[in-house]
Amino acid sequence: MKPAVTYELLHECKQTGARRGIVHTPHGDIQTPVFMPVGTQATVKSVTPEELKEEVKAEIILANTYHLYLRPGHELVKQAGGLHSFMHWNRPILTDSGGFQVFSLGDLRKITEEGVEFKSYLDGSKHFLSPEKVMEIENALGADIIMAFDECAPFPSSYEYTKNSMERTTRWAKRCKDSTKRDDQALFGIIQGGFYKDLRQKSLEDLVQLDFPGYAIGGISVGEPKEEFLDILNYVGPKLPKDKPRYLMGVGTPDYLIEAAMAGIDMCDCVLPTRIARNGTAMTWNGKVVIRNATYEKDFEPLDNECDCYTCKNYTRAYIRHLIKCNEILGIRLLSIHNLRFLTMLMERVKIEIEMDNLKTFRDEFYKKYGYTKE
């Protein structure tokens, strides 16, 4: 049977390892490489689905299994007709597995081979997540792409810890595959192995044997220096199966997105654009704009002259600064729309540069203008 989600390769960049393609899903196609906005609690913070479609031009969004399991509960979402219906979004959705959040709880969780016991941050109640339970939750939520329950080792972690955690992640991936019940959802495996290449290689080989319809790289972009991030990204990225979608988890700065594309990654996600919006920061083609700065007080230009978003078409930096200084929700909304659009626009540009076999040249020029140093 054809899997729910498939990958179609359109072009490989001759200058880099980047690839231009389409991910086909039950809720529509995704042009890749793509940036996926994150809707942790079944809402991309501060924006509507219409804004995501019309202004941001988002093709797929994420939602968070761990948060939705705790609140409002996956059964309620199922009763509402699934996540698409519950949150009024009819394009593709990807749900993470909750692994990252649960393992981030530190002392509040206990790991066994069976799964993870943890206390809810909401009310202290005890919960147990196993691969089978996570599949039950993700099946109920009903996303197009669902992620296997993995253990994301913190940075730094010892070889031994990372090895155990990676091997358990593989065993759990098998249990996820065996227990997921919906063939209209694609279950992706997550490659772990921290910053040890032999462990990454082993994780990759074992997961590829399990033949998932897509693969993710987990456990990088977790606080390590950029060189170590790039080292693992460029080691694992090109080894991922060519006929499947490739997803790098938790990446959302412009430079990391470009590097990911260069390493052959198709999909990335991050809360960054909406999070920094709430702090009053905009990403522009000329670098970051911290809108509270006095320099923008009488700046009647748009945030970014090269941007086509609702915010840039209709508002000045002076007005957005005023809103943010007054803690007005509209200020957060305007910056969120812009930042999300900036990243989708960046990826539109990346797609063109791949098609033109010019991505490395573009990256170098972008870094100069945006203010990032070359690696």
Contact set with a second copy (CB under 8 A)? 41-43, 45-48, 71-72, 76, 79-80, 86-88, 297-298, 300, 314-316, 318-319, 321-323, 325-326, 328-333
User: Which one, 210 or 330, has the nearer CB to a second copy?
Assistant: 330
User: Which one, 22 or 271, has the nearer CB to a second copy?
Assistant: 271
User: Minimum Å distance from CB 312 to a second copy?
Assistant: 12
User: Which one, 191 or 320, has the nearer CB to a second copy?
Assistant: 320
User: Distance between CA 58 and CA 30 in Å, rounded?
Assistant: 9
Q: Which residues contact 334 (CB under 8 A, 6 or more apart)?
A: 310, 311, 315, 320, 323
Residue 52 DSSP one-character state:
I
User: Distance between CA 294 and CA 316 in Å, rounded?
Assistant: 14
User: Which one, 6 or 40, has the nearer CB to a second copy?
Assistant: 40
User: Distance between CA 36 and CA 79 in Å, rounded?
Assistant: 26
Query: Which residue among 150, 206, 269, 304 is the active-site one?
Result: 269
User: Minimum Å distance from CB 149 to a second copy?
Assistant: 23
User: Distance between CA 207 and CA 245 in Å, rounded?
Assistant: 14
Sheet with strand 19-25: strands edge to edge: 6-12, 19-25, 28-32
User: Distance between CA 211 and CA 226 in Å, rounded?
Assistant: 31
The SS3 of residue 329 is helix
User: Minimum Å distance from CB 332 to a second copy?
Assistant: 6
Is 107 labeled as catalytic in the residue annotation? no
User: Minimum Å distance from CB 100 to a second copy?
Assistant: 19
148, 131 in Cβ contact below 8 A? yes
Is 96 labeled as catalytic in the residue annotation? yes
User: Minimum Å distance from CB 97 to a second copy?
Assistant: 20
User: Distance between CA 174 and CA 212 in Å, rounded?
Assistant: 10
User: Distance between CA 131 and CA 172 in Å, rounded?
Assistant: 6
User: Minimum Å distance from CB 338 to a second copy?
Assistant: 13
Q: Can you say whether residue 288 is alpha, beta or left, with left for phi > 0 and alpha for psi between -120 and 50 degrees?
A: beta
Q: Which residues contact 207 (CB under 8 A, 6 or more apart)?
A: 170, 173, 189, 190, 191, 215
User: Minimum Å distance from CB 260 to a second copy?
Assistant: 28
User: Which one, 70 or 94, has the nearer CB to a second copy?
Assistant: 70
Query: Which residue among 96, 144, 255, 304 is the active-site one?
Result: 96
User: Which one, 9 or 326, has the nearer CB to a second copy?
Assistant: 326
Please give the C-alpha separations between residue 265 and each of 113, 136, 180, 192, 244, in angstroms, as whole numbers: 31, 28, 25, 16, 11
284, 307 in Cβ contact below 8 A? yes
317, 301 in Cβ contact below 8 A? yes
User: Which one, 176 or 323, has the nearer CB to a second copy?
Assistant: 323
Catalytic (active-site) positions = 96, 269
